Every structure is written in structure tokens, then in C-alpha cells.
Amino acid sequence: MLLTVLFVIGITAEAMTAALAAGRERMDLFGVIMLAEVTALGGGTVRDVVLGHYPLTWVKTPEYLIVVAVAALLTVFASKLMAYFRMIFLTADAVGLAVFTVVGINVALEMGYGFIIALVAATITGVFGGILRDVFSNRVPLVFRKELYAAVVLIGVIGYWIMRYFDVPRDVNTIVTLLIVFIVRMLAVKFEWSLPVFVYQEHNYERSDVTKLWRSGSWFSDLRPVRKLRKRRKKKNDTESTGDAGDDNDAGTGDAGTGDAGDAD
């Protein structure tokens, strides 16, 4: 019963965030409801399809579809007030992540799977709804950039498995796991925890420049983008061109002098 209530809270929060995302993309009411349904129930649906767990959650309990649709429509009509409930949203979202984690673990255990599949099932349940929301909104998913979701799920699954190893009663294990995921997620929001971000900027280098730097032993200290190397080379060429022009002028003067001398003779 407790899990059911918390699950409803979680899908409601997910539906509201999806409705706001739909509003940013100027979707109509159908788009709002569809995006909310995909966000709130998409993670569980993908999990069930991957694991072959049927019937799907929303097929077994179609009332969830109505709950999500109502939450999305209420968000549309009360959108101007949503800014005042940011902390409530974050709290409900953390509750949802905790519930989705436990539900994913339970589904994997019911089907006889071990730790790895339980982790995969919990992760899919917890984060895939948000991924689908951002993909349908034509954005890079937040979970791939800065939001600490998957790592929180991992902590929850590890905690659950440790307690299961020591034969902690299932109800106690469930409650403690819910608290672990909820607390860690709220701390991540408060202190803005995130995983290290990988940044790669590709530069074009000329083969001769790279070879030269490699042979000189200054690869790590002196490697620069090709535009800087070209600038140096151009400056050098300009200097050499100026020198060549000076030599040509000197040669021309000498020839003229010789010719004048011949004429004088």
C-alpha cells in the first residue's frame, strides 16, 4: 500500500515536469498529455519490455493513465503558480526516483534475476522516463549532462543488496532503500552534486606540424591548433619573401651598372 501511494506521488511529479517541458516547446494539449504519459510511465514500460515482464504496469492498472493525464492538465492550467512549488517538485521527484528504484529491483527479483539485472531494471525505471521526455523535446537528456540520477540508483541498489545479503526483512529493506535514495537525491540537489563532465574539443592539425612537434619532444607543451602554426609559417614566409626581393633589387642594380659601363665603353 505504501509503495502504491508513493508510486502515485512519483508519477504525478513526473507528469508535471513533462507538462512544463511540453509548454516550453509550445505543444498542444494532446502533446502535453502524451509527453506526460511517456515521462511518467515510460521507464517502467521500457523495463517490462526489456525483461519480458507482462502485463505492462499501465495495462495492469490503467488508472495510472488517468492520474498522469489529470496531473498534466492541472499543470497547464496552474502553470503560473508552478514556480512557487519548485521545492515540492524536487521533493516529489526524489520520492518518485526512490519508488522507481525499489519497483525495478522487485521486478528483477520476482523474475529470478541477480544484482546486475536488478541494477539495470532499477536504472531503466528511474531514469528512462526523463530521457524519453528530453528526446521528444529535442534536447540532450539532463541525466546525461548534469543531473545525478543513475548514481543515486546505484547507491540504492547496493544498499538493498547488502541488506538482502544479511537477511534483513523485506519490508524493512524496502523502507531503508527508499530513505537512502530519497536522502541522497535531495543532498545531490542541495549541494549540486554531479558526475565529472567529459569535454573534448577537436582541432585540426597538419601532419607535418604534428610530426615536427613529436620529434622535437615538445608534444605536450607546445602543441597548438594549426591556425597558430600556420600564422608562424606565414610570418616566416613573408620575411623570406622580403629578403628575396631585396636580393633581386641588388642584382638588378648590378646588371644595370654593368650595362652602363659597357655603353660608356
Whether omega for the bond prior to residue 62 falls within 30 degrees of 0, making it cis, is: no
pLDDT for the residue numbered 110: 95
Report how far residue 154's alpha carbon sits from residue 152's, in angstroms, rounded to the nearest whole number: 5
Predicted TM-score of the model (pTM): 0.74
The SS3 call for residue 52 is coil
On whether the CB atoms of residues 71 and 12 are closer than 8 A, the answer is: yes
Could you identify the residue written with the cell 492550467? 77
- Report the percent of the chain where pLDDT is more than 90: 61
**Mean pLDDT lowest for which of 3-7, 132-136, 234-238?**
234-238
Give domain limits for the chain.
1-191
Mean pLDDT of the chain: 84
pLDDT tens-digit readout, 61-95: 999 999 999 999 999 998 888 878 888 888 988 99
Count of all residues that appear for the chain in the document: 265
Q: Contact 221/227 with Cβ under 8 angstroms?
A: no
At residue 225, the pLDDT reads 53
Predicted local confidence at residue 203, as pLDDT: 64
Question: What pLDDT is stored for residue 245 in this prediction?
Answer: 52
Residue 201 pLDDT grade (very low, low, confident, very high; cuts 50, 70, 90): confident
C-alpha cell at 233: 609559417
pLDDT digits (tens, 9 = 90+) for 203-255: 665 555 555 555 555 444 444 455 565 666 667 677 766 655 555 545 444 44
Q: Cell 594549426: give the residue.
A: 226
Could you give the CA distance from residue 127 to residue 149 in angstroms, rounded to a whole number?
Answer: 7
pLDDT of residue 200: 78
Mean pLDDT, residues 38-66 taken together: 97
